[in-house]
Structure 1
Amino acid sequence: MSTTTTTTTRTEEASPTRSARRWLALGILALAQFLVVLDASIVNITLPSLGSQLAMDTATLAWVITAYVLPFGGFLLLGGRLADRYGHRRLFLLGTVGFVAASAVAGLSSSSGMLLGARAFQGASAALLAPAALALVTQLFPSTSDRTKALGIWGAVAGIGSAAGVLLGGVLTAAIGWQAVFFVNLPIGVIVIAAVPALITRDPATTHSRLDYAGAATVTGALVAAVGALSAVGQVGAAHPLTLGLVAAALVLGLAFVLIERRTAEPLVPLGVFRNRNLSVGNIVVLLVGAAMVALFYALSVFMQAVLGYDALTAGLSQLPLAGALVVIAGLAPNVVGLLGARRTLVGSLLILAGGLVWLAAAPSDAVFALHLLGPSLLIGVGLGGAFVTATQLSVDGVEGGEAGLAGGLMNTSQQIGGALGLAVLASVAASRTSALEAGGTSTAASLTGGFSWLFLGAALIALAAAGVGSLSRRHSATV
C-alpha cells in the first residue's frame, strides 16, 4: 500500500460521518425510520383478515404485535451500542437489510409460526436500524441551526408513522390484501439500501473498545421482560402469574444491570449520561408522549369503527387532518424553538395536546366528524408535532459522536416502553369503565364511548405530566 493511500484511508477513518448532500441523506434515513414506526401500527387494521386466512385465534393474533415489539424494545440499547462500536452506517445497513428480508418472509407467510418468526426478526432488525439512523442524523448536522431543522423533521416522522399506519393499513388491506402491509416495505427498503452508501461516508468503527456483555445481557433481558409484562396485562390481566413473573424478572434484571454498569470499566450505558438534564428530560417526555399517542391511535381507530360504524378505509382517512396538522407543525417547530426556546415550545405543545384530548373525550356515541372530531384532531396534531420535535432534540442534546448510537437507543427505547405502558394501562381503564357501564344497563355504544372517554382523559393527564417534566429542561442548550 502506498503512502498516499495509507494517508487517505486514515483521514477517512478519522473523519466523522458526512455527506455532500446531507438533506437528501436525511430524507433517506427518515424513510427508514418511517418504516420502523409504521410497522408497529400498520398491522392493526389487517389483523381480522390475516387471522382468517392463517387460522389464528384472538390470543394468537395479539402476538403478531407483541412478536415485533418485544425484540424491538428489548434490543434497542444493545443496538445503539453496537452501532457506536462497529460503525453507525454499517449497523444501519445491516438492520435495514434484515428488516426488508423479514418483511418479505412475513408477506409470504403461510402459517402463524412463519409469520410470528418473521415479525420477531423485523423487530430485532429495527433495533439495529433505529438508533444507528438517529446517530447518523446527529453526525450529519453538527451545527446548531441545521441540526435543529433536521431533528425537527426526524421528530415528526415518529408521529406521522403512527398516524399513517392506520390509513395505509386500511387502504392496502382493502385494495390488495393483508400481505401488502408487509410487501410495502420492500421497495422503500431497497431504495434506502441503495442510496445510503452513495450519500453517507463510512464512519469509523471503534473495535478497540470492549463490549459490556454482562450489561448487554441484563438490560436486554430486563427490557424484554418489561415489554412482555406490559403486553401480558392486556392479554391475560395484571394479576396473572405470567405478568407477575415478567415484572419480577424485569426488576431483578434491571437492578443487576445498574450494579454491573457501576462496576464495569467500559459500561454499555454510562450512568453519567443521565446527568445531562436535557437528555433525561427529553427521554422522559418521549416516554410519556409515546404512552399517550399509542393509546390514542388505538382507541380512536376502534371508536370510529366499533361505535361510529366507519369502515377501515374511512377510519384511516378520518385521521388525515391530525396527520396533516402534525406535519405542518413539525416543519414550523424549529422556527418556534428559535423564537421561544425549547422549554416553552415543549410545554406549550403538551398543553395543547392535553386540551385536544380533553375535547375528544367529550365526543358522544353518535359523534359527527366535522362537529365533534375534527377540532380535537387538529389540536392533537399540533400538540404532537411540537412535542415530538422538541423532545427529540432534547434527548440528543450535548451528545458526542461516540455516544450518538446510545442516545438514539435510549430515545427509541423510551418511546417503545412508553407506548406499551400507555396502551396496557389506558386500555385496561377503558375496559373497566365500559364493563361498569354495561353492568348498569347502558347500551353497548354508549358504554364503549364512556370507556374511550376515560382513556382520552387518561392520555390528557399523561400529557400534563409530560408538560411538568418538560418544564424542568434547561433554559439554554447546545442543540436547541
Structure 2
Amino acid sequence: MNLHRTQPGPPTPGPRPAAVLTVLAAAQFTVMVATSIVNVALPQIRAGVGLSDGGTTWVVNAYGLAFGALLLAGGRAADLFGRRRVLTAGLALFAGASLAAGLATSPGVLIAARVVQGLGAAAIAPAALALAMDLYPPGPARGRALGVWGAVSGAGGAGGVLLGGALTQAWGWPWIFHAVALGTVLVLVAVAALLPRAAGRGGGAFDLLGTTTVTLALTCLVWGLTTARGAGWTDGRVLAALGSAAALLAVFAVIEPRRPNALIPPRLFATGRVAAGNLLMALLGSVWIALFFFLPLYQQQVLGSGPLATGAGQLPLAAANMLGSTLAPRISRRIGATATVTAALLTEATGLLWLSRISADGSYLADVLAPSVLVGLGLSVAFVQLTAFAVDGLPPQDAGLAGGLVNTTRQVGGAIGLAALATLAGSVTGRASAHAPHLEALTAGYRAAFTVSAAVLAATAVLALLLARCTGPRIAVEPARPAAEPRTLRTSRPY
C-alpha cells in the first residue's frame, strides 16, 4: 500500500481587521451605553422597584463605582491571561448582569446587578482597546482606528440617553437593561466567530497585593465622591472614605516599585507621555461625565421635555462627536497633535461657556442645539488624541494595562468632577431659591456647573501646551510614518 502524504493547502485567511475593529468598537459601545442609559429612566425605575432617594442615586453610582475601581485589574488580567479570554468573560458577565437588572423586583437585586455590570465592563473596556491597537501598527492606520474608537465612545454616551428614553417610553424601564443584554450577546457571538482563540498568554504573575490595594483605594475614593453629592463633604462617612483612599494610595505608591511583577510597572511612565495623557484625560473626564448628567436634567426639569424628546436632543451632539472622531487623525496630521488637542479643548470650552447662558424660559433650539454641537466636536477630537497619547509607544505586553489606566483616569476624573460640580450646582440653586422661582434657581445651578466646566477645559488646554514641552513634541500617534496596509490577524498572537 502506498501512503501518500497530504500536501498542506494554502493558509486560511484571517478576518479582515476592519471587521474585527467593528466588533471591538461594538463592545466599547455597550460599555458606554450602560453609563448613561438609566439617566432618563430613573423616576420610572424608582417607582418600579421601590427605591428611596439614596437608592435611586446608587442605580447610577453602583455601575460607575465597580467600573472605575476594577479597570486597572481588568487591564492587567487581559495582558496576563489573554485579551480575547478576558473580553469574552467580561461580555458574558455583562450580559447576565444586564438581564438580571431588567428582571429585578427589589432595590438590592437591581443595585447588585449594576455592580456586576460594572465588573464586566472593567474587563471589556481595556481588553477591547488593547485588541484594537494590536490590529494596526503605529501610524495613520492606528490613528483612524482611534478615531473609530472615539466615535463609538461618544456616541455610546449620547445614544444611551436616546435609547433609554425611547425604550422607557415605549415598553417600560426593564427594557433598557434587556436591550443591553441582547446587544451584548450579539457582540459576544461576533467576538467568538471573528477573533482567533488564544495560542498562549502573556508572561508574568498577577500582582495580587498591588491590585487589591489600588482597587480598595479606588473603591473608597469613588464611593466617597459619589456619596458626597448627597451627604455633603463634611459627612463622617465621606471623610473616612476619602481618608482611607489617600492612605491606601500611599501604601500602593510605597510597595509597588518593589514588586517584581508590579501592577503598574515603572516602564509605563518612562517617557512621561503616559502620565501626561492620563492627567489630561482625567480633567477631560471630569467635564465629560458631568455634561451628560446636567444637560438631560436641564432638558427635563426646566424645559419640560419627556424621556424620548430628551434622548432625541442628544442626537446632534452624538453626530458631532462621530464627525470629530473621524476627522481627528486627519486634523492631527495637518496641524500637529499638540495644536489639535489644544484647539479641541478650547472648542469644547467655548460650547460649555455658551451653555452657561441657558435660561429658565429658554428652548432647546435657542439654548442647547448649537453649543452641544461645539461640545461634541471638541470632546471627540480631544478624546481621540489623548487616548492615543496614553497608549502610544508602549510595549505590547502593557497594552491592556494602558487601556485600563486611561479608562480609570477618565472614570475617576468623572467621579471627582461630577461630585464637585453637583455640589456647586446644588449650593447655587439653594441660595437662589431664597429669592427666585424654582425653575430659575435650578437653571442658575446648571449655569454655574457649565461655567466652571468651561474654565476647567480652558486650563486643561494651557496644561496640554506646557506638558507637550516637557514630554516631547507630540501628543498622539506619530503621523509622519508612511501608511501601511493593516495586518491580518495572526493566530499566534496571545489574544
Q: How does 1:17-416 map to 2 (within 5 A)?
A: 20-206=15-201, 208-416=203-411
The match for 2:446 among 452, 463, 474 is 452
- For structure 2, the 5+ residue unaligned runs are 6-12, 479-495
Cα distance in 1 for partners of 2:280, 2:33 equals: 21
Q: CA deviation at 1:192?
A: 1.5
User: Equivalent pairs: percent with the same residue?
Assistant: 40
Cα distance in 2 for partners of 1:102, 1:343 equals: 41
Cα distance in 2 for partners of 1:78, 1:348 equals: 34
Say if 1:277 and 1:202 are closer, same or farther in 2 by CA, change over 3 A: farther
Q: How does 1:417-436 map to 2 (within 5 A)?
A: 417-436=412-431
Say if 1:256 and 1:26 are closer, same or farther in 2 by CA, change over 3 A: same
Q: CA deviation at 1:123?
A: 0.6
Q: Does 1:461 align with 2:461?
A: no
- For structure 1, the 5+ residue unaligned runs are 5-17
Cα distance in 1 for partners of 2:409, 2:347 equals: 22
Cα distance in 2 for partners of 1:107, 1:359 equals: 38
Q: Secondary structure at the match of 1:135?
A: helix
Cα distance in 2 for partners of 1:183, 1:428 equals: 33
1:366-398 CA distance string (max 9 Å, x none): 113222222211111111111111111111111
1:404-429 CA distance string (max 9 Å, x none): 01001001101110111111000111
Q: CA deviation at 1:235?
A: 2.1
Q: What RMSD, in angstroms, separates the aligned Cα atoms of the two structures?
A: 1.8
Cα distance in 2 for partners of 1:163, 1:425 equals: 22
Deviation larger for 142-151 or 184-193: 184-193
- The question of whether the paired residues in 2 share the 8 Å contact of 1:284 and 1:466 is answered with no
Say if 1:477 and 1:427 are closer, same or farther in 2 by CA, change over 3 A: closer
What amino acid does structure 2 have at the position aligned with 1:475? Answer: P
Cα distance in 2 for partners of 1:187, 1:289 equals: 31
1:107-160 CA distance string (max 9 Å, x none): 111211111111111111111111111110111112411111001111222222
Cα distance in 2 for partners of 1:208, 1:26 equals: 25
- The question of whether the paired residues in 1 share the 8 Å contact of 2:389 and 2:476 is answered with no
Q: What TM-score results when the alignment is normalised by the length of structure 1?
A: 0.94
- The question of whether the paired residues in 2 share the 8 Å contact of 1:33 and 1:130 is answered with yes
What amino acid does structure 2 have at the position aligned with 1:384? Answer: L
1:44-85 CA distance string (max 9 Å, x none): 111111111211111111111122111111111011111100
Q: CA deviation at 1:165?
A: 1.6
Cα distance in 2 for partners of 1:382, 1:160 equals: 12
Q: CA deviation at 1:465?
A: 2.3
Cα distance in 1 for partners of 2:261, 2:299 equals: 51
- The question of whether the paired residues in 2 share the 8 Å contact of 1:19 and 1:140 is answered with no
- The question of whether the paired residues in 2 share the 8 Å contact of 1:155 and 1:390 is answered with no
Cα distance in 2 for partners of 1:48, 1:205 equals: 48
Q: CA deviation at 1:325?
A: 1.0
Q: CA deviation at 1:446?
A: 1.2
Q: Secondary structure at the match of 1:365?
A: coil
Cα distance in 1 for partners of 2:331, 2:203 equals: 42
1:269-296 CA distance string (max 9 Å, x none): 1133123332222212221111111111
1:153-177 CA distance string (max 9 Å, x none): 1122222211112111111100011
Say if 1:479 and 1:60 are closer, same or farther in 2 by CA, change over 3 A: same
Say if 1:36 and 1:424 are closer, same or farther in 2 by CA, change over 3 A: same
1:15-47 CA distance string (max 9 Å, x none): xxx953111111111111111111111111111
What amino acid does structure 2 have at the position aligned with 1:214? Answer: L
- The question of whether the paired residues in 1 share the 8 Å contact of 2:388 and 2:476 is answered with no
What amino acid does structure 2 have at the position aligned with 1:287? Answer: A
- The question of whether the paired residues in 1 share the 8 Å contact of 2:352 and 2:451 is answered with yes
Deviation larger for 192-201 or 29-38: 192-201
- The question of whether the paired residues in 2 share the 8 Å contact of 1:86 and 1:204 is answered with no
1:215-274 CA distance string (max 9 Å, x none): 011011011111111111112111101100100110111011111111112111113312
Say if 1:305 and 1:61 are closer, same or farther in 2 by CA, change over 3 A: same
Cα distance in 2 for partners of 1:366, 1:477 equals: 42
Q: CA deviation at 1:105?
A: 0.9
Deviation larger for 278-287 or 403-412: 278-287
Q: Secondary structure at the match of 2:361?
A: coil
Cα distance in 1 for partners of 2:361, 2:22 equals: 41
Deviation larger for 322-331 or 268-277: 268-277
Q: CA deviation at 1:187?
A: 2.5
Cα distance in 1 for partners of 2:254, 2:189 equals: 42
Q: CA deviation at 1:208?
A: 4.6
- The question of whether the paired residues in 2 share the 8 Å contact of 1:398 and 1:478 is answered with no
Which aligned runs of 4 or more in structure 1 are off by greater than 3 angstroms? Answer: 202-208
Cα distance in 1 for partners of 2:148, 2:397 equals: 23
